[in-house]
Amino acid sequence: MMRDALVYLAAAVICVPLAWRFKLGAVLGYLIAGVLIGPWGLKLVYDVESIRNFSEFGVVLMLFVIGLELEPKRLSEMRQSVFGGGTLQLALSGAALTLAGAAAGLPWKAAPVVGLALALSSTAIAVATMRERNFLSTPTGQTGFAVLLFQDIAAIPLLAAIPLLGAGSLAAGGAELESLGWLEAAKVFAAIVAVIVIGGYLSRPLLRLVAATNLREVFTAFALLLVIGIAQIMSLVGLSMGLGAFLAGVLLASSEYRHALETDLEPFKGLLLGLFFISVGMAIDFGLLVTQPGRVALLLLGFLALKLATLWLTARIVGVTPRQRWLFAILLSQGGEFGFVVFGAAQAARLLSDEWAGLLNMIVAISMATTPLLLLLHDWQQARSECARGKKVEADAIDVRQARVVIAGFGRFGQIIGRLLFANGIGAVVLDHDPDQIELLRKFGYKVFYGDATRLDLLRAAGAGEVTLIVNAIDDIEDSLRLADIVRENFPNLKMIARARNVTHYVELRSRGVLLIERETFEAALKAGRYTLEALGVDRFRARDMANIFRRHNIADLEALIPVFSDEASRVSAAKAGRAELAALFARDRKQFESEQSGQDWQ
């Protein structure tokens, strides 16, 4: 066991950085690592199936963490994309692949199962790639995620239908089959209710009890227990473990422990996802490539062509912008993890022969490796078309001579700063990663350039070494902190003004030496508080003074929290002391004001 762990870690440490170096992406690096150490490479590991079963828990953790980022209200807002776009994609891709499977010689019962299984995409690869490219938070990224979520839901009835289509399955009596169906439905319903109860009601008080121990390792252990337990409940009734974990994450999205859960599970998620991709690389049967190269190539090319075409059509129908339709299609073009499960179940039910199961498993595995390569081809084509239209500015050609500021992120926050600077004739280099946003802003005369601001080479090209300051207006908290780290390490003399999403983000930025931080909703809320006081009859100048007192005290409280923020007990104690001090300040201030008022009345 220790030897295998050493092999996996060494392969990942060697191959993934090399893949990054050549801009192939981390996913392809893991896949290459799996090929090298697997049965068709150096033969350092043979037991591929057991490793894959274990590593699939990485996908479960990933879906739980994604669920933590989606509050129930936001998920409800996505229902049209989930069930509308998801149904459309599965119907189009499934129908095309079913017809192609029948034409390739699959039995009529097996063709729809194979077609629908191949229509499913890899949540792990698609989401990991979108996060690598800062694409998940964009409208197109959210549409892609909604389709992936529907696919996870659709995999459940697909798996349930396989035994009914298998050889000998119809021999059972109708009444017995109906009874079995009701029993399975009851089990599924009970499992979903159990997940809702655990995620929505039991987990929060239990997390509170565990957090009260102030033992970080116990909190981490409970987080893992929660996800594993929910996944096991779903697995026992034949449902998707990932779907159960996602549902639990959504139920905990508004919890005060959300950020702590994300932080504690992130290392496990990353390692297990990497192990999953390594196991996929190990599972590629190169023996079939040797014996049937033409057939494998024809099946792979046909599969990719049909799926890309139907995904592009789906993107067009659901309103994805023309510029991003092929990107949407490529991100979801690969076969999914459920494909391995479906083909295994179909083989056991004698719907698929061993030969067909082996071929299909190989097609899915290779298609996972083609996604990063297709993305590289897409990026190259995009760069060519941009250059042809004269709209692409290469990194070393960005004109920074007149710029005094770099603005990283041009969303709702960065736009206000940029407009204020531009209105006053102050030049700025703006970096953003949303192509549609850039296209729109350029129409209005803004100098906006495509690029990930957390890339050191792009920062250098944007003039980070020459400008006066950088505005960190990135929406994603992790990317915002990464930018702060890069600037502190490589441009120590560059001033940074940063946007903070919440108190935790504020403290993390301050711990990195950022001195000028603005919380995005604080000033607006404070001003609204002033108006509230005035509406209640408080004098306008008095309301302003009260707001200023609150601002000074709140900032002082935050500064006092920074040294003890990692210690929950000290953090709670400091917060209580701060509230008590603020109450005393307001009491003294109110007393003084009333005294002054009575003095004026007496005069």
- 178 has a pLDDT exceeding 60: no
* 229-234 long-range Cβ contacts below 8 angstroms, 24+ apart: 229/198, 230/195, 230/198, 230/199, 231/57, 231/60, 233/191, 233/194, 233/195, 233/198, 234/191, 234/195
pLDDT tens, residue by residue, 577-601: 656 665 665 666 566 556 655 554 4
**CB neighbourhood size of 377 (10 A):** 13
Beta bridge partners of 471: 407, 497
Does residue 58 contact residue 273 with C-beta atoms inside 8 Å?
Answer: yes
72 pLDDT tier (thresholds 50, 70, 90): low
Torsion angle defined by CA atoms of residues 345, 350, 354 and 356, in that order, rounded to the nearest 10 degrees: -80
Residue 351: the pLDDT is 84
602 pLDDT tier (thresholds 50, 70, 90): very low
Residue 526: the pLDDT is 87
Range among 57-66, 309-318, 493-502, 585-594 rated most confident: 309-318
Least confident span in 195-199, 333-337, 338-342, 514-518: 338-342
DSSP state of 84: I
Tokens linked to 229:
């337990």
What CATH code is assigned to 2-167+178-385?
1.20.1530.20
| Overall average pLDDT of the 327-350 stretch | 84
Rg (CA), the chain: 28
Residue 518: the pLDDT is 85
Nearest to 124 by CA among 247, 327, 280, 307: 280
Torsion angle defined by CA atoms of residues 453, 373, 377 and 409, in that order, rounded to the nearest 10 degrees: -10
Angle between helix 123-132 and helix 258-283 axes, rounded to 10 deg: 120
- 361 has a pLDDT exceeding 80: yes
Residue 166: the pLDDT is 61
Q: Give the architecture-level CATH label for domain 393-520.
A: 3-Layer(aba) Sandwich (3.40)
Q: Burial level of 505, CB count in 10 A (0-12/13-18/19+)? A: buried
Shared fold status for 2-167+178-385 and 393-520: no
Beta bridge partners of 516: 497
209 pLDDT tier (thresholds 50, 70, 90): confident
Distance from C-alpha of 489 to C-alpha of 577, rounded to nearest angstrom = 35
Does residue 329 contact residue 312 with C-beta atoms inside 8 Å?
Answer: yes
Residue 25: the pLDDT is 67
Q: Which residue has the tokens 């997390």?
A: 207
Least confident span in 310-324, 368-382, 433-447, 550-564: 433-447
Does residue 26 contact residue 128 with C-beta atoms inside 8 Å?
Answer: yes
Mean pLDDT rounded to a whole number for the chain: 79
Kindly list the domain boundaries of the chain, sorted by start residue: 2-167+178-385, 393-520, 523-603
Is the pLDDT higher at 344 or at 530?
530
Nearest to 586 by CA among 560, 553, 541, 559: 553
Distance from C-alpha of 171 to C-alpha of 287, rounded to nearest angstrom = 38
What percentage of residues in the chain have a pLDDT greater than 70?
Answer: 80
pLDDT tens, residue by residue, 385-428: 655 554 444 443 445 455 678 899 887 788 888 888 877 777 78
Residue 306: the pLDDT is 95
- Number of helices and strands (H, E) in the chain? 28, 6
Distance from C-alpha of 433 to C-alpha of 141, rounded to nearest angstrom = 12
pLDDT tens, residue by residue, 266-313: 778 778 878 877 887 787 777 777 888 888 899 999 999 999 999 999
Residue 502: the pLDDT is 78
